[in-house]
């Protein structure tokens, strides 16, 4: 009897301990964001503020147009997600269900691009965007997101699990590839689309380096760039920085909660052998 319950008990104890360790930084962020500037250097450390202050949340909107940066990030992240999923779904359908010469070689070339560090492509991409006069525009910021090898791979793995009998039946009814893709493959791909949507939105929302390279207009600044402005050269208001960081987390959590029903299923589907 003791051996029977010892394993589960040990598992839940370890899981709880790991969860507490992971949540400590978030608790510290919340605590710091609710402290006044003087309480930040108090000794001993105040894990729970003696006096709650919303000075950091007020200041984060006074330093610069923080609300505008949130809207900019929401626009860029949302459009990036839509563009990436649309392109990946169409490419994956071609690789999974359409037969053409060189298909496997081309797909291998797509996968090979995953081994190229993103930083290596920044200079060529910047030069291309400069020639196209897309510097300091949202179009230039979003355009490189059209191609994503990981999203194509995940979508292809899922679409290969769809029985070809469904497609053959649709073709016999006179359906074109466009009809099959829109009315059959996309609805069947809802779990993996939800998973990739969360990943794409999170990547675009947290992206710092590419917007730093592309954007110079303060009115087009995204949230990560705005948060970097809160860290000064000689001093940093940590309550303001933590308040801004917590605000930036909210949209990601909201997107995940909206798609969590399909998120786990989508990750499992991506690992199916194809």
- The answer to the question of residue 209 being in a domain is yes
Looking at the domain assignment, is residue 244 inside a domain?
yes
Q: Whose structure tokens read 């009809």?
A: 179
Instruction: Flag whether 18 is in a domain.
Output: no
Residue 100 in any domain: the answer is yes
Task: Establish if 23 belongs to a structural domain.
Answer: no
Residue 161 lies in a domain: yes
Alpha carbons 186 and 191: distance in angstroms, whole number: 10
Q: For the whole prediction, is pTM greater than 0.75? A: yes
- Structure confidence by residue, pLDDT tens digits, 68-113: 899 999 999 999 999 999 999 999 999 988 888 889 999 999 999 8
Predicted confidence (pLDDT) per residue in 170-204, tens digit: 888 888 888 989 888 988 888 888 889 888 998 99
Is residue 7 included in any domain, yes or no?
A: no
Q: Does 11 map to a domain?
A: no
Residue range(s) defining the domain that contains residue 248: 63-270
Number of compact structural domains in the chain: 1
The closest alpha carbon to 206, from 255, 159, 158, 170, belongs to: 255
Give dist(CA 110, CA 114) in Å, integer: 8
Q: Looking at residue 260, which CATH number applies to its domain?
A: 1.10.3720.10
Beta bridge partners of 233: none
């Amino acid at each position: 009897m003791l051996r029977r319950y010892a394993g589960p008990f040990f598992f839940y104890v370890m899981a709880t301990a790991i969860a507490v360790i992971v949540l400590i930084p978030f608790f510290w962020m919340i605590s710091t964001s609710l402290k006044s500037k003087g309480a930040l250097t108090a000794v001993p450390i105040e894990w729970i503020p003696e006096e709650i202050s919303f000075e950091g949340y007020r200041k984060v909107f006074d330093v610069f147009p923080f609300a505008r940066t949130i809207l900019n990030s929401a626009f860029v992240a949302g459009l990036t997600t839509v563009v990436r999923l649309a392109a990946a779904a169409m490419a994956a359908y071609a690789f999974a269900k359409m037969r053409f010469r060189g298909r496997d070689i081309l797909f291998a070339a797509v996968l090979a691009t995953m081994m190229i560090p993103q930083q290596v492509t920044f200079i060529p991409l910047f030069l291309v965007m400069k020639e196209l006069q897309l510097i300091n525009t949202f179009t230039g910021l979003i355009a490189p997101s059209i191609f994503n090898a990981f999203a194509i791979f995940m979508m292809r793995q899922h679409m290969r699990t769809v029985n070809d009998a469904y497609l053959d039946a649709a073709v016999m009814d006179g359906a074109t590839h466009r009809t099959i893709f829109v009315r059959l493959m996309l609805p069947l791909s809802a779990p993996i689309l939800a998973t990739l949507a969360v990943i794409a939105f999170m990547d675009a929302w947290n992206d710092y380096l590419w917007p730093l390279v592309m954007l110079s207009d303060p009115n087009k600044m995204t949230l990560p760039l705005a948060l970097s402005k809160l860290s000064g050269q000689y001093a940093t208001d940590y309550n303001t920085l933590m308040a801004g960081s917590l605000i930036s987390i909210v949209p990601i959590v909201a997107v995940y909660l909206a798609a969590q029903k399909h998120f786990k299923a989508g990750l499992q589907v991506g690992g199916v052998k194809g």
